[in-house]
Amino acid sequence: MSLKNFAYRHRLPAKRAIALLARSLPATARRRLLAVAERIAFSVTPQYQGDTLPPIFAYWSGRFLAPDAQRLGIGSPESFFLDHIRRRAADSNAPVRVLSVGTGSCGMEIALAARLQADGSAAHITCMDFNAALMRCAAAAARERGVDALMAFEARDCNLPFELPGQDVIIVNQFFHHVTELETLCGSLRRSLATQGVLLSSDIIGRNGHQLWPDVETVVQEAWATLPANKRHDRHFNSASPRYRPIDHAAYSNEGVRAQDIVACLLAEFDFELFFSFGGAIMPFVERRIGFNFDPQLAEDREWIDRMHAIDVAALAAGRYPAANMIAALRHKGGAVQPVFEPISPQRHVELTREQQVKAATAPR
């Protein structure tokens, strides 16, 4: 067994040890420890692991999420990014300047470059990530794919200020929720965005550490109580539980470290042109920890997910709690024309988040 495989198989005790140590450290040392832990986690996690969502997620997203997104002109986050770049390229005499921040191994960006090259859309994509080793690997992958002329790779810590010449399109895909210094990053993005540019994002905007807000947990626990024992198996703990057990993933890494602050920080620097928020109490049942318990081939499992989704959508639309995810397009202040918010505005999302923060702070422990 390789060292990487050994580390991955024993990740749970490692997470607990890091969380225990982090609690005893000063704030600066704690931030450094969690950043290092996250860098190690990305290096030992198997390449395929990020693509192993349970089949029930595909059922849920295909049946419910995709139609809502398509109504808003979103086929997928990747096509959302690609369409914006293509439209900008069609209206421009110069190559579209694209910045993608927090890219990891750059698989999505390399695929975007290949699609743009194939259809003749002139663009140049700069990929930015704090992991220099990943940037080197990505540069090699781009050469192998034949798109290296369209791309640049920059190792940079996005918690520190930066400014690039006006970028026409900035992509932040599933990265905001890893950032400690959100205000710094959002300011850097504003300074790097061209006057008529657009910032595009798909990200997680729920409670820090991907925990559940109090009113979300109430719905989840009520639903959990209706499940048979074989549906309560938790892959994180490798056991069944009489109650759903929320986890603070930010206790041992930067995973979701300031997720709940993302929308407010963006509002301070930009205007939302599109804010599509979704997924609250349904999320634990369609993601990796619990979702593999549900088989989309079984009618009773599909019906259970359908009922849970209906409960969740009604609660989100009524403003009972904020959603955990967003797909968004943002412009410079005053630049958003005919903004589209579904089902609520980003301002209302921030209000609901603050209400849940108060509930969480005053809830008995």
pLDDT surpasses 50 at 268: yes
pLDDT surpasses 50 at 178: yes
Confidence of residue 235 (pLDDT cuts 50, 70, 90): very high
Q: What is the sign of the dihedral through the CA atoms of 135, 140, 146 and 152?
A: positive
C-alpha pair distances (Å), 198 with each of 79, 128, 331: 15, 17, 5
- Of 37 and 236, more confident: 236
pLDDT surpasses 90 at 77: yes
pLDDT surpasses 50 at 42: no
- Of 7 and 33, more confident: 33
What pTM was estimated for this model as a whole? 0.88
The 10s digit of each residue's pLDDT in 140-157 is 999 999 999 999 999 999
Provide mean pLDDT across the span 89-115.
Answer: 95
Provide mean pLDDT across the span 326-344.
Answer: 97
pLDDT surpasses 70 at 29: no
Confidence of residue 26 (pLDDT cuts 50, 70, 90): low
Provide mean pLDDT across the span 305-319.
Answer: 98
> CA-to-CA distance for 144 and 84, rounded, in angstroms?
26
For the record, the structure tokens of 44 come out as: 């030992």
Model pLDDT, residue 253: 85
Task: Give, as one character, the DSSP assignment of residue 179.
Answer: -
pLDDT surpasses 70 at 159: yes
Confidence of residue 19 (pLDDT cuts 50, 70, 90): very low
The 10s digit of each residue's pLDDT in 104-133 is 999 999 999 999 999 999 999 999 999 999
HSE, side-chain direction, 13 A CA sphere, residue 161:
3
Model pLDDT, residue 52: 79
